[in-house]
Structure 1
Amino acid sequence: MKHLILLLLLGTGFSSYAQKSDKEPVNVPAAVTKSFQQQFPKATGVKWKLKDNQYKAEFEKHDVWYDATGKLVKQKEDVKDADLPAAVKQAVQQQFAGYTIHDVDKHTAGSTVTYKVELKKKPEERNVTFSADGKVIKNELDKKDKKDKKDKKDGAQ
């Protein structure tokens, strides 16, 4: 009986520790908070995370990263495919005929703007990153599709 009680206490302790570490509040520096409030005064439901010495604020359809001095390092926002630059739309039509646009994220780092576009054409999905002038920067087959193709290949042997 003593062992059972001990095991229950240990189990509860580990469970509590795991939950606490996942939801531990981030101590956001005043400079970061001030910059964020100036740049996004109407933001609601903001969740902060700290990773690699950058403070990430997640809210609405945005993610923004700040350094400890409050300088905006980069940002990502969900945009509608209708809001893509004409050059990117044209590149999709010419280089990815038959694919449909599923999701678009606009990434800004300094003065560089890129668009990560999720393209679908059954049975595959691609994640393609374009420069604002429509040049392909990165073209990746979705990881899930790679695994599915490998599983089918392994099953055929």
Structure 2
Amino acid sequence: MKKLIILVVSMILSASTMHAAEVPEAVKKAFTQKFPTVTNVKWEKENGTEYEASFVIDSKEMSALYTATGALKEIETEIPVADLPQAVVDSVNKKYPNAKIKEAARIDRSDNSVLFEAEIRVGGKKTDILFDGNGNAVN
């Protein structure tokens, strides 16, 4: 039970929701320049040093991750599961033959690399797995 409490507290501390007033001005400015029409933004602090903005554009859930100085690290965009590269689908089916891909996202990183996230359910448990475009799992 003690381990469970420690795990839950760690999860809460690693990503905590915050008010926009708590977000550094450089981060808010960079976000507004990149997404000038977005108004309903939920902010979270990730890993104690990064800021994630969650929002919706054209009915797609999105998030943008920034450093404390306002440098954009990545943009995650919800995509239909059918839009995942076939190599990603094949990798999921090979490693998790009983899994079903429930949701998917495309992650565009600041280094111009692209990752894909597949949310799968195995035995009632939800797991998010990152892949490159060739279907290789990424840490």
TM range (shorter): 0.5 to 0.7
More strand by share: 2
2:97 corresponds to: 97
Structure 1 regions of 5+ residues with no counterpart? 1-21, 139-157
Structure-to-structure mapping, 1:1-157, within 5 angstroms: 25-51=20-46, 52-60=48-56, 61-110=61-110, 111-122=112-123, 125-137=126-138
Secondary structure of the 2:21 match is coil
Distance 1:58 1:100, change over 3 A: same
Counterpart Cα distance in 1 of 2:50 and 2:137 = 28
Structure 2 regions of 5+ residues with no counterpart? 1-16
Distance 1:125 1:30, change over 3 A: closer
Indicate the percent of aligned positions where both proteins have the same amino acid.
Answer: 28
Secondary structure of the 2:27 match is helix
Tell whether the 8 Å contact from 2:18 to 2:44 is kept in structure 1 after alignment. Answer: no
Structure 1 segments of 4 or more deviating over 4 A?
22-25, 121-126
Alignment length (residue pairs): 117
Stretch deviating more after TM superposition (53-62 or 116-125): 116-125
Q: Report the CA distance between 1:82 and its aligned residue.
A: 1.4
Tell whether the 8 Å contact from 1:26 to 1:50 is kept in structure 2 after alignment. Answer: no
Tell whether the 8 Å contact from 2:18 to 2:45 is kept in structure 1 after alignment. Answer: no
1:6 corresponds to: none
Q: Report the CA distance between 1:91 and its aligned residue.
A: 2.3
Counterpart Cα distance in 2 of 1:48 and 1:121 = 30
Q: Deviations over 1:97-119 (max 9, x none)?
A: 34221122333332332222122
TM-score by length of 2: 0.63
Counterpart Cα distance in 2 of 1:65 and 1:115 = 16
User: Which protein shows a greater Rg?
Assistant: 1
Distance 1:48 1:128, change over 3 A: closer
Q: Report the CA distance between 1:47 and its aligned residue.
A: 2.1
Distance 1:123 1:34, change over 3 A: closer
Q: Give the residue type in structure 2 aligned to 1:55.
A: Y
Tell whether the 8 Å contact from 2:27 to 2:68 is kept in structure 1 after alignment. Answer: yes
Q: Select the structure with the greater relative contact order (CA < 8 A; seq sep ≥ 6).
A: 2
Q: Report the CA distance between 1:53 and its aligned residue.
A: 2.8
2:14 corresponds to: none
More helix by share: 1
Q: Report the CA distance between 1:71 and its aligned residue.
A: 1.1
